[in-house]
Amino acid sequence: MIWQSLSLRSFWWAMLTLGGGMFAAALYWQYALGEDPCQVCIQARLWVVAIALIGALMLILPDTTGTRLGGLILLFISSMGLGERSYYLYEIENFMGDGSCQFTLGMPDWFAVDRWFPALFEVRNICSYTPEIALGITMAEFLVGISACLCVLCIFASKTLLD
């Protein structure tokens, strides 16, 4: 039981660290490298923040089967959301489908994060391409891979974390 509890805390710490690291990387690309984000990039960024917040929330909530299941479901949904936005961006940069984006975030007034935190969530570019991270892999491709891995991890973790 103690080993499972330590494993569970490590899992949620990993989600907090992954989400926080990806968010920090996005800000580095924006401010240090001058790669202004587009609408879809900011929407993906919001899913990344959700992954980090889920990790943080699960670290402070009581460790029950219900909270574990809820956390895994929320993490899976956030990973799917990140995957959908990332794949949409991948399609745009590879001229597939009829993808396009706007110069506004398009969130409702009750969730106007682009006005509340413009330095973090303001759309500053039109969708076209994402920068190369390393070895010819673009940011969109990397995010598609990360989100797929997270979805698979949620499925496998559900067995371990819910036992």
Provide the CA 118 distance to its chain's centre, in angstroms.
18
Q: State how far the Cα of 30 lies from the Cα of 120, in Å rounded to an integer.
A: 9
Q: Which residues contact 141 (CB under 8 A, 6 or more apart)?
A: 90
pLDDT digits (tens, 9 = 90+) for 91-143: 888 777 666 677 666 777 888 877 888 888 888 887 777 778 888 888 888 89
Q: What is the mean pLDDT of the chain?
A: 84
Domain ranges of the chain: 2-162
pLDDT of residue 1: 42
Q: State how far the Cα of 69 lies from the Cα of 8, in Å rounded to an integer.
A: 12
Q: Residue range 20-34: average pLDDT?
A: 91
Q: By the 8 A CB rule, do 130 and 41 touch? A: yes
pLDDT digits (tens, 9 = 90+) for 63-79: 888 888 899 999 999 99
pLDDT of residue 52: 96
Q: What is the DSSP string of 110-163?
A: GG-HHHHSHHHH---S-SS---EEETTEEHHHHHHHHHHHHHHHHHHHHHHHH-
The dotted CATH code for 2-162 is 1.20.1550.10
Cα–Cα–Cα angle for 159, 85, 141, nearest 5°? 85
Q: Helices 139-162 and 2-31, interaxial angle, to 10°?
A: 170
pLDDT of residue 44: 92
Cα–Cα–Cα angle for 132, 134, 18, nearest 5°? 95
Q: State how far the Cα of 163 lies from the Cα of 142, in Å rounded to an integer.
A: 32
What phi and psi values does residue 126 have, to the nearest 5 degrees?
-95, 150
**46 pLDDT above the threshold of 90:** yes
